[in-house]
Amino acid sequence: MSDGPLGEFGPLSLHVPEPAVRHGGEPDFSNVNIPEAGSVRRPEVDVNPEDIRDLAFSIIRVLSRDGEAVGPWAGLLTDDQLIEGLRHMMTLRTFDARMQIAQRQGKTSFYMQHLGEEAVSCAFRKALAPGDMNFPTYRQAGLLIAGDYPMVEMMCQIYSNERDPLKGRQLPIMYSSKEHGFFTISGNLATQYIQAVGWAMASAIKNDTRIAAGWIGDGSTAESDFHASLVFASTYKAPVVLNIVNNQWAISTFQGIARGGSGTFAARGLGFGIPALRVDGNDYLAVYAVAQWAIERARRNLGPTLIEYVTYRVGAHSTSDDPSAYRPKTESDAWPLGDPIMRLKNHLIGQGAWSDERHKQTEAEILDTVIAAQKEAESFGTLHAGGKPSARDMFEGVYEEMPPHLRRQRQQAGV
């Protein structure tokens, strides 16, 4: 200890935030303030960001507790479009369940599921136009599912088999598809966020009409790349939608460690003059409505928007962790925003456009489709069995043209 000016001040102490409850405790979300559905206003897209600062602290919601679509953000999608959205979310959930099991069966090394977060990427994808580009994290496969990217290709990537479009070079689920507006997933965190801003700047430089969408999780907003992204997006008014998926947990670390003293993650945008909205991430209609608003802003050259999706990661972070070691087992049941699939299902039933029976039937159809895709993918091999990318492939594609030292090493490897 130094000989500092004690006395009047007393000794300092370090504040280390803790979640309200840990494993073994009773889940408690009383600190999550949930406004009523339909209660948050919908400003014009050319609103002065200064006039909507309060939206960074609220939650935009469309689906009421009774499953009705209410308020100024409702009414954008037809029942048919919503049924399609429901199918996408159900497909993603089934896909996840099958791949999670496949990992446990040793058919691949690793998997990450979306359980509880399906609405975010599935609904957002439907608000984009062809040619727009996502810079996703590892938990936005809904962008591919809702964009009709072939499931077999996704599975071949997961299995690193002979049909893997990425030739076995990437960890499972780190998909890449330029054609489907899906930037190659890094696996390092937050790097893609500033790249999204750069891509959007390029589109503006070329007087194009396409926009970009960056994706990040609550935990990685602490990375300096996140802050660089906000500076660049704000300075150059880049046509980009900056998405923060706040699923409450960064592996075992609760969101308070990254958020610190600020009220919300959305509030991070305010200091940059970026309009910032918070939305119920488990409400397909609300996600779509807010995404559409932000995408229109970008498309009209009005600049970036920051969106925080308030959601909950029901499953583990990945196949490599067990959440029961760091949070209450029943916490996901207590999550006050419910389940995105159940909520949309109930809404459609209320609309008279859906029924329990159709839901069950659809579940069964989807399961059949996913199983068929899985069988096809597995016919091209799994990580440790059957066809796989050649060792020669390992040396390809480091550069467009293979330099002499790599050619020598390939010869040395005898492949």
Partner 1 sequence: MPRKTMIEAIRDAMDTMMERDDNVVVFGEDVGFFGGVFRCTQGLQAKYGKTRCFDAPISEAGIVGAAIGMAAYGLRPCIEIQFADYVYPAYDQIVSEAARLRYRSNGGFTCPIVVRMPAGGGIFGGQTHSQSPEALFTHVSGLKVVVPSNPYDAKGLLISAIEDPDPVIFLEPKRLYNGPFDGHHERPVTPWSKHDLGEVPDGHYTVPLGKAIKRREGSQLTILAYGTMVYVAEAAAEEHGIDAEIIDLRTLLPLDLESIVESVNKTGRCVIVHEATMTSGFGAELAALVQQHCFYKLEAPVARVTGWDTPYPHAQEWDYFPGPVRVGRALVETLEG
For partner 1, the binding residues (CB under 8 A) are 133, 135, 165-167, 169-170, 174, 176-178, 183-184, 186, 188, 191, 193-206, 212, 224-225, 228-229, 231-232, 235, 397-400, 403-405
Q: How far is the CB of 179 from partner 1 (least distance, A)?
A: 8
How far apart CA 369 and CA 371 sit, in angstroms, is 5
Task: Compute the least distance from the CB of residue 236 to partner 1, in Å.
Answer: 8
Pick the closer one to partner 1 by CB: 14 or 205.
Answer: 205
Angle at 147 between CA 146 and CA 150, to 5 degrees: 100
Tell me whether residue 170 or residue 246 sits nearer to partner 1 (CB atom): 170
CA distance 158 to 140: 15
- Closest approach of partner 1 to the CB of residue 293, in Å: 23
What count of other Cβ atoms lies within 10 Å of the Cβ of residue 164? 25
Nearer to partner 1, 73 or 138 (CB): 138
Least separation, in Å, of the C-beta of 114 and partner 1?
A: 22
- At its nearest, how many Å lie between partner 1 and the CB of residue 299? 16
Are 345 and 354 in contact, with CB atoms under 8 Å apart? yes
> What HEC string does 290-355 produce?
HHHHHHHHHHCCCCCEEEEEECCCCCCCCCCCCHHHCCCCCHHHHCCCCCHHHHHHHHHHHCCCCC
Least Cα distance to 356 among 343, 368, 341, 346 occurs for 346
Rounded-to-integer distance, Cα 114 and Cα 117, Å: 5
Ramachandran sector of residue 148 (left: φ over 0; alpha: ψ -120 to 50; beta: rest): left
Instruction: Choose between 198 and 328: whose C-beta lies nearer to partner 1.
Output: 198
The number of residues in the chain equals 415
Question: Which CB sits closer to partner 1, 75 or 165?
Answer: 165
**Element (H or E) spanning 202, and its range?**
helix 191-205
Whichever of 166 and 285 has its CB closer to partner 1, that residue is 166
Identity of the residue, 193 or 265, whose beta carbon is nearer to partner 1 in the bound complex: 193
CB of 275 to partner 1, least distance (A): 20
Instruction: Find the shortest distance in angstroms from Cβ 213 to partner 1.
Output: 12
